[in-house]
Amino acid sequence: MFNRRHLFFASLLPWQAAFANERFEVTYTDAEWRKRLSAEQYRVLRKEGTEPAFSHPLNNEHRAGTFSCAGCALPLFASATKFDSGTGWPSFYKPLDNAVATRVDTDYGMRRTEVHCRRCGGHLGHVFDDGPKPTGLRYCMNGVSLAFAPQAK
């Protein structure tokens, strides 16, 4: 049974305290975020949700271009770093410089590294250490958190 005691102890977890103290360049009220984003984008970007695997078209995007934050348009990943991880989410081995930030995520009884946009704090996904060379990292991103702009010809 989940009760107020659980909420109290959860509020003491270090990751929640760290998140509460973070400040971002792009900020909106909750009502403004709801107006700017689709319901699914809001659920993922602002409430740290996850879209179903293999559900977003950007998983199959293979053109040259840039993947940006759907919340604030900050460029996040170059298409040259995208690879097919077989997980059902767009995956990259390296973000652009100064694009993302991370924090420890202990939801669901496991320890993971959550990735968010460094400019607006929008939840993007998680990073794992099972990616390809040269970094060995797999930035597993929610497609709904991203926007894609093809490279100009």
pLDDT tens digits along 23-37? 899 999 999 999 999
Let me know if 69 is a catalytic residue: no
Mean of the per-residue pLDDT values of the chain: 88
pLDDT of residue 21: 66
Between the two ends of the chain, the Cα-to-Cα distance in Å is 58
pLDDT tens digits along 82-137? 999 999 999 999 999 999 999 988 777 888 899 999 999 999 999 999 999 999 99
Indicate which residue of 69, 72, 117, 140 is catalytic. 140
Edge-to-edge order in the sheet of strand 75-78:
75-78, 65-69, 146-150
| Sign of the dihedral through C-alpha 1, 47, 58, 89 | negative
Q: What's the one-letter identity of residue 116?
A: H
Q: What is the pTM of this model?
A: 0.85
pLDDT of residue 108: 74
Helices (H), the chain: 4-11, 14-21, 30-36, 39-41
Model confidence at 11, in pLDDT bands (50, 70, 90)? very low
- Kindly give, in sequence order, each residue whose CB lies less than 8 Å from that of residue 64, ignoring residues fewer than 6 positions away: 79, 80, 150, 151
